[in-house]
């Protein structure tokens, strides 16, 4: 509001100079003042537009940056969970494989023992020669 009052005071002062300086000199001064005011307002408006565009662009970039960080955190968390799950599967598979190997080994030793005892019972105790 005070800008409008100041602008009116400037125009009134310019009108006063128009009356004091004459029509041509005063008219040129008045047109120059109006052109200066329009130019200042135009560049002021351009600065405001540039400031708003810059603020919106910064906001958009901040949004992209925070979204990117969020996506990276989610992917990292998924990677950790999958890695932990696969680690558990590998440990379980290892335990199962070792259990199967130990079972087969135990069965083979037991079968060998049974075969040896059966052979011994049929043929009698084995005689070992002294060297």
Per-residue pLDDT tens for 73-85? 999 999 999 999 9
Compute, in degrees rounded to 10, the torsion defined by CA atoms 48, 49, 50, 51.
50
| pLDDT-based confidence at residue 24 (cuts at 50, 70, 90) | confident
Q: What pLDDT, on the 0 to 100 scale, is given for residue 111?
A: 92
**In which residue are the tokens 């130019």 written?**
39
Poorest-pLDDT segment among 33-42, 55-64, 104-113, 121-130: 121-130
What is the DSSP secondary-structure string of 92-129?
A: HHHHHHHHHHHHHHHHHHHHHHHHHHHHHHHH-SPPPP
Report d(CA 3, CA 11) in Å as an integer: 12
Structure tokens of 70? 């969020």
SS3 127: coil
Distance in angstroms (rounded) separating the CA atoms of residues 124 and 108: 23
Provide the whole-model pTM: 0.46
30: buried, middle or exposed (CB in 10 Å: 19+, 13-18, 0-12)?
middle
Residue 43 Cα distances to 2, 3, 32, 38, 90, angstroms: 20, 16, 16, 9, 69
Which 8-state DSSP code applies to residue 57?
A: H
């Amino acid at each position: 509001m005070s800008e409008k009052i100041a602008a009116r005071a400037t125009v009134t002062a310019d009108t006063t100079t128009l009356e004091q300086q004459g029509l041509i000199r005063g008219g040129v001064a008045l047109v120059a003042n109006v052109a200066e005011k329009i130019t200042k307002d135009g560049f002021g408006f351009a600065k405001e537009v540039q400031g708003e565009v810059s603020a919106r662009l910064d906001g958009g970039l901040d949004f992209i940056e925070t979204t990117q960080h969020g996506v990276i955190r989610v992917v990292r968390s998924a990677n950790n969970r999958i890695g932990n799950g696969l680690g558990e599967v590998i440990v379980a598979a290892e335990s199962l494989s070792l259990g199967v190997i130990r079972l087969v080994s135990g069965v083979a030793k037991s079968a060998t023992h049974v075969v040896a005892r059966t052979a011994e019972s049929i043929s009698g105790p084995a005689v070992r020669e002294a060297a």
